[in-house]
Structure 1
């Protein structure tokens, strides 16, 4: 059996085009991040939106200045233009296209934000013996739009997006305990049980990602999701911005243990 990939090795595969899919289940032990890249004149308001909504938008790292393509804490070889498996390019709030490299659209006024991802606490859940259904079934985690309003900041507003993992009630309680140790990657779930209570009409039809099996006796557990900024960006309609495609994250050299509250 081959050794697991290191974050640097996975980033190299992403950079070369060898890996273009979601990153859930890869590089256990290391922080994964959602991506939002905005023009400088939108960046301050977006940072304020994240600060007012730390559960769905916990900022793990950001560029020190516009145009910066490397963030050293992520990895010495990291390049935001090439090291995400799939990017979404937005124009005036509309999805223009998805690409695997943004070098040809990069601008010197762009500011990169890297936002905590629930994939980071999946390792802790697995270490405790809990099955992560999307990993077990080899699919992207299901994600949903909700009716949970975020705090607005300037031009940014909207509702929270959540990811879902099913558990029997006893395991759901254990999940809550474990995830509470990771506030920098969304922390404790925001809801469990009836999806309709948070505006999800059909849990079998996610708005992003893939559906997973919910077995008899299991309840859906919903965690704040880093796709939330995309919803806010769609609402704010900046003339140009870039995000990750759902499930396709930056995989960093930061150990998950650094984000845990013991």
Structure 2
């Protein structure tokens, strides 16, 4: 039975090659999240903007590499990420997209075929789902890699980003509850992967970075802090979405949270056969 013929289970995705995962998504045979897919490969956030805003957005990302590590940028009008996955198509190879107009979410769509024009530029930015498998392999539990009901909480912090053009605002962060005796190990592991947001931006009391209620994240509600665990916060690829929304950019397309683009690159960003 071929990959194209079989019924897909989430556990299958872990061992598939990136192009197999992308093809299943393009064919609409997989419409779920990409947690744990193509293990060992870098996953990416997607932001698509009109060309008018692309240079300022690139400057914003380069000035704020912790939440916005740049993996690839397409040519205007092209949907092919020639560095991250030659031959792939950013219009079809993510399982769910969001459409924002003037800073407001207006639609969630299965592809961008009818929306992408010659004026659009696509950005792929690193995603912490990539280093989750490295944490898991190091013995630090990452429940969302196996449990479809488990997520990673995502908050707006008070950590300021360096502005560029119309893009400015605070950093968005993810929080993972880490066993207290494994926090140092978590810092060591994630610090190896700057394209997946790298080491944490904060450890411990959420109030120190402006988060007053861990039970009510602004973006995604995930696993709660338990006994014997410490809150550990990493920069998040939702940051550019949040600042573009705040700037009320006329048009922006992004991935839907958890529905990432699976690249051909290794976790450290190097090409991998």
**Class of the TM-score when normalised by the shorter of the 2 chains:** over 0.9
Residue number among 196, 206, 210 corresponding to 1:185 in the alignment: 196
- Conserved 8 A contact 1:55-1:187: yes
Pairwise mapping of residues 135-150 of structure 1 onto structure 2 (< 5 A)? 135-138=145-148, 139-150=150-161
State the Cα deviation string for residues 106-150 of structure 1 (Å, max 9, x = none). Answer: 110100110011111112212211111332543232211111111
TM-score normalised by structure 1 residue count = 0.93
Structure 2: give runs of 5+ residues left out of the alignment: 1-10
Cα offset for 1:257?
Answer: 4.0
Cα offset for 1:208?
Answer: 2.3
Residue number among 100, 116, 121 corresponding to 1:90 in the alignment: 100
- Conserved 8 A contact 2:193-2:268: no
Aligned-partner Cα distance in 2 for 1:149–1:43: 21
Cα offset for 1:164?
Answer: 1.2
Residue number among 200, 206, 224 corresponding to 2:235 in the alignment: 224
Tell me, yes or no, if structure 1 residue 204 matches structure 2 residue 208. no
TM-score normalised by structure 2 residue count = 0.90
Cα offset for 1:207?
Answer: 2.1
State the Cα deviation string for residues 51-108 of structure 1 (Å, max 9, x = none). Answer: 1101100101111x20011113332441010011111111111111111111011110
- Conserved 8 A contact 2:130-2:267: yes
Cα RMSD (Å) of the superposition? 1.6
Aligned-partner Cα distance in 2 for 1:247–1:135: 11
Residue number among 100, 112, 118 corresponding to 1:102 in the alignment: 112
Number of the residue aligned with 1:24: 35
Structure 1: give runs of 5+ residues left out of the alignment: none
- Conserved 8 A contact 1:147-1:159: yes
